[in-house]
């Protein structure tokens, strides 16, 4: 017997002759045809009764809601699609011309508010090391001074201000206060139209509120939105500090920062600073905007104009960078705040703290974020003494530091 080569053949079991199944398949097919005929017959017999049941209105109490008290269900007339369509059109009644919208007695119309304020509102664009930002500002003096948010001009290498008449100037930052989020700028222009600032302490919930600014940038400059004062003296936590703000439902968006919030008399009663948005749910959050009260603006602006900083603001004279977990592992550093700059006139510099050190504890509390540090720092005043823990070269050092005054030269 010759040897068989199985190189390219595969078996999965014992091979047997196939059975003849033609008879079984024929019987199965006949059964299916027979059952199908029976189903079809029942369907033809039941289709008319089913339609009749669908067309016959049920005598149910729920139908009485749609009937008149003096009309029976059987008396109702069902419109026929075959009837000719009536000669009906949608009439448009001529509307009267626009009228002055005076929100409350003695106040200005919305149109008057805009006309009286728009020349005092400016567009701000800033060049940053990593890109550009934009915002809004309010002229506070005809000599060329204006106020905006500190976060609008933060880290700017160049600040450009565009007036309502289209003229554009390079601006100088006279002073900036991150705690209140306010900054004062100067442009070399004379005879500007200064805004009128009102007393925010006189506000009541429900008063008219109007915002003017550049939502999403200068392409939409001079946009006005209106709403009401939703709340006053609203305490909002941000960057480790508490800001007492005016809440409004007037629409605010990126670019409105630094612009005016106005009352019904066209007076600036706040500087718009932030809004709360929902980036988690699909529902979103709208109508939660906030402005710095005009009474706070006056206190801060007066100091910035006179001193270039706000007197009494506490500072350690140190600039920090937060340490990520990856950075800590790479460089074998503890949890804390990495010191990048030291003000030479600060007490920290006098005590020998230098860039590269890590602040791990402030006033007996461990800190690893700027928000946590600021929350502790703003509970103190300039001149207070606190204990800090500094990490350097694998060792921890405890030091007594005197808190300085922010902005002081």
Q: Catalytic residue at 164? A: no
Residue of 200, 257, 294, 368 marked catalytic: 257
First to last CA, the chain: 110
Token digits of residue 283? 């529902």
Q: Catalytic residue at 181? A: yes
Residue of 120, 177, 181, 375 marked catalytic: 181
Residue of 151, 176, 180, 357 marked catalytic: 151
The alpha-carbon radius of gyration of the chain (Å, integer) is 38
Query: What is the Cα–Cα distance from 270 to 65, expressed in whole angstroms?
Result: 54
In angstroms, what CA-CA distances link 255 with 85, 251, 259? 53, 12, 9
Query: What is the Cα–Cα distance from 305 to 174, expressed in whole angstroms?
Result: 7
Beta-carbon contacts of residue 376 (< 8 Å; ≥ 6 apart): 240, 362, 363, 365, 367
In angstroms, what CA-CA distances link 232 with 182, 243, 399? 19, 12, 42
Token digits of residue 334? 């503890």
Q: Is the dihedral of CA 296, 297, 302, 307 positive or negative?
A: positive
Q: Which stretches does DSSP call E strand in 299-394? A: 314-315, 318-322, 337-342, 358-362, 365-366, 385-392
**Which residues does the annotation mark as catalytic?**
151, 181, 257
């Amino acid at each position: 017997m010759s040897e068989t080569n199985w190189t390219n053949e595969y078996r999965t079991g014992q091979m047997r002759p196939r059975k003849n199944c033609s008879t079984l398949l024929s019987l199965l097919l006949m059964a299916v045809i027979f059952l199908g005929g029976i189903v079809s017959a029942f369907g033809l017999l039941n289709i008319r009764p089913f339609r009749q049941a669908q067309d016959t209105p049920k005598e149910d109490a729920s139908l009485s809601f749609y009937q008149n008290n003096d009309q029976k269900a059987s008396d109702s007339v069902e419109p026929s699609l075959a009837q000719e369509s009536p000669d009906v059109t949608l009439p448009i009644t001529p509307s009267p011309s626009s009228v002055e919208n005076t929100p409350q007695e003695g106040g200005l119309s919305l149109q008057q508010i805009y006309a009286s304020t728009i020349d005092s509102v400016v567009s701000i664009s800033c060049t940053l090391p990593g890109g550009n930002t934009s915002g809004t500002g309010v002229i506070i003096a005809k000599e060329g001074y204006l106020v905006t948010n500190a976060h609008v001009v933060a880290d700017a290498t160049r600040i450009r201000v565009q007036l309502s008449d289209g003229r554009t100037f390079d601006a100088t930052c006279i002073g900036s206060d991150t705690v209140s989020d306010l900054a004062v700028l100067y442009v070399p222009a004379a005879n500007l139209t200064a805004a009128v600032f009102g007393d925010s302490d006189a506000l009541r919930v429900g008063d008219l509120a109007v915002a003017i600014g550049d939502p999403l940038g200068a392409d939409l400059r001079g946009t006005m939105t209106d709403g009401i004062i939703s709340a006053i003296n609203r305490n909002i936590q941000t960057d480790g500090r508490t800001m007492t703000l005016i809440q409004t439902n007037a629409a605010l968006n990126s670019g409105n920062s630094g612009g005016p919030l106005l009352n019904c008399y066209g007076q600036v009663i706040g500087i718009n600073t932030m809004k709360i948005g929902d980036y988690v749910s699909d529902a979103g959050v709208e109508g939660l905007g906030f402005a710095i009260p005009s009474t706070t603006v006056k206190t801060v602006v007066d100091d910035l104009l006179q001193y270039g900083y706000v007197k009494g603001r506490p500072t350690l004279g140190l600039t920090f960078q937060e340490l990520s977990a990856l950075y800590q592992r790479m460089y074998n550093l503890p949890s804390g705040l990495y010191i990048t700059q030291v003000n030479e006139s600060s007490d920290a510099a006098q005590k020998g703290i230098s860039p590269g050190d890590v602040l791990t504890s402030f006033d007996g509390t461990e800190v690893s974020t700027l928000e946590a540090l600021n929350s502790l720092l703003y509970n103190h005043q300039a001149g207070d003494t606190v204990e800090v823990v500094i990490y350097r070269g694998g060792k921890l050092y405890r030091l007594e530091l005197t808190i300085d005054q922010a902005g002081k030269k």
